């Protein structure tokens, strides 16, 4: 029987068990029976009831404030994501235009260097560029 303690036994203390009383012991002193525990939890006194209602109102107000702040945070995050997406799309469009311009310039330069319109091997390209550099150096010396 002593092996199975009911929860209410935890609130009862024998004076011989502990020589000095802790704050917990003092707080639990009024909870020696289930009805006392229930009275403390529910708020048996009018002052306790009004205090509990005031705390509940404060908690509800804090929860509403936190909900409002959370909603504002989500709205700000969505606005930031929209702005970043718009900036990304604008920059991507600019990069596409710049890449198209560079490709056009590359084609024009390859035509000026005498590259065939098809693909030219890397060795042939080096030979053509080397020839172009030599010809340019010869023109500057003359």
Q: How far is C-alpha 50 from the chain's CA centre? A: 40
pLDDT over 70 at 56, yes or no:
yes
- CA atoms lying within 13 Å on the CB side of residue 109: 10
Q: How high is the pLDDT of residue 30?
A: 53
Structure tokens, 73:
């945070």
Q: Return the axis-axis angle of helices 46-113 and 122-141, rounded to nearest 10°.
A: 70
Q: Is the distance from CB of 48 to CB of 39 less than 8 angstroms?
A: no
Q: How high is the pLDDT of residue 83?
A: 97
Encode pLDDT of 82-118 as tens digits: 999 999 999 999 999 999 999 999 888 877 777 766 6
Encode pLDDT of 26-55 as tens digits: 555 555 566 565 565 665 556 677 888 999
pLDDT over 70 at 25, yes or no:
no
Structure tokens, 126:
């080096």
Distances (CA, A) of 10 to 7, 31, 96: 6, 10, 75
pLDDT over 90 at 69, yes or no:
yes
- CA atoms lying within 13 Å on the CB side of residue 106: 8
If you search the block for the tokens 């004076």, which residue do you land on? Answer: 15
Q: What is the dihedral of CA 4, 7, 8, 10, to 10 degrees?
A: 80
Q: What is the CA radius of gyration of the chain?
A: 42
Across the range 13-27, mean pLDDT stands at 54
């Amino acid at each position: 029987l002593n092996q199975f303690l009911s929860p209410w036994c935890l609130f009862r203390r024998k004076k011989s068990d502990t020589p000095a009383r802790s704050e917990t012991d003092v707080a639990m002193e009024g909870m020696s029976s289930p009805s006392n525990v229930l009275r403390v939890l529910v708020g048996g006194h009018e002052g306790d009831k009004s205090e509990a209602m005031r705390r509940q109102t404060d908690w509800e107000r804090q929860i509403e404030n936190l909900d409002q702040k959370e909603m504002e945070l989500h709205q700000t995050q969505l606005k930031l994501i929209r702005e970043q997406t718009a900036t990304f799309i604008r920059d991507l469009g600019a990069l596409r235009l710049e890449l198209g311009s560079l490709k056009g310039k590359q084609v024009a330069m390859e035509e000026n260097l005498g590259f065939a319109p098809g693909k030219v091997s890397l060795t042939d390209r080096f030979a053509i560029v080397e020839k172009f550099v030599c010809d340019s150096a010869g023109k500057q010396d003359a």
